[in-house]
Homo-oligomer: A and B are copies of this chain.
Amino acid sequence: MLSNFSWPIRIYYEDTDTGGVVFYVNYIKFFERARTEWLRAANVSQYALTETHGVMFVVKSTAVDYHAPAKLDDELKLTVVVERLGRASVQFLQEAWRISEDGPKLLATGRIKVGCVDTIAFRPSIIPDEILKKIKASE
């Protein structure tokens, strides 16, 4: 696995579809849960971002490759790596792994690009220095 940070996710009925596997769209939710917890671990509060700095992160693009399916009750680990840190955007490389007695198996890989925007006009905005430092420190 490519990251020191990972977030565990358990598969429930709500995550599956009639194909008997996790509905592919849901991995993008899982990626976001992991990014959110990664931000929290880096001590960055989304609430403070908005209240103190008047900015928020919005998702600009998502690109996901699906390698293998997960099923009900599976345990996943979601990883988070900052692949590119721009002045007003961050690109994440994320992976979803199934954890089992047979060892980890890569299920999906995602590249998620988020942009920093002001909360009034939703225009691109420079990532506040304090936040930038925390992101760098967490790598």
Interface of A toward B, CB cutoff 8 Å = 10, 12-14, 16-21, 23-25, 28-29, 32-33, 36-37, 45-47, 56, 58-66, 69, 71-73, 122
Which residues in B have their C-beta under 8 angstroms from that of A21?
18
B60 and A73 contacting across the interface, CB-CB below 8 Å: no
Copies of this chain present: 4
Q: How far is the CB of A119 from chain B (nearest CB, A)?
A: 9
Q: Is the interface of A mostly helix, strand, loop or mixed?
A: mixed
Which residue of chain B lies nearest to A20 when distances are taken between CB atoms in the complex?
B18
Asked if B19 and A17 sit within 8 Å, CB to CB, the answer is no
Known: A46-B72, A61-B65, A63-B62. A56 touches B13 (CB 8 A): no
19 contacts between A and B (CB under 8 A): A10-B37, A12-B29, A14-B32, A18-B21, A18-B71, A19-B56, A24-B58, A24-B59, A25-B25, A25-B29, A25-B32, A25-B62, A28-B62, A45-B73, A46-B73, A59-B66, A60-B66, A61-B65, A62-B63
Complex Cα–Cα for A23 and B32 (A): 11
CB distance from A28 to the nearest CB of B (A): 5
Are the C-beta atoms of A17 and B24 separated by less than 8 Å? no
Chain B residues with Cβ under 8 A from A122's Cβ? 69
Please tell me which one of the listed residues B20, B28, B47, B59 contacts residue A72 in the complex, with CB atoms under 8 A apart.
B47
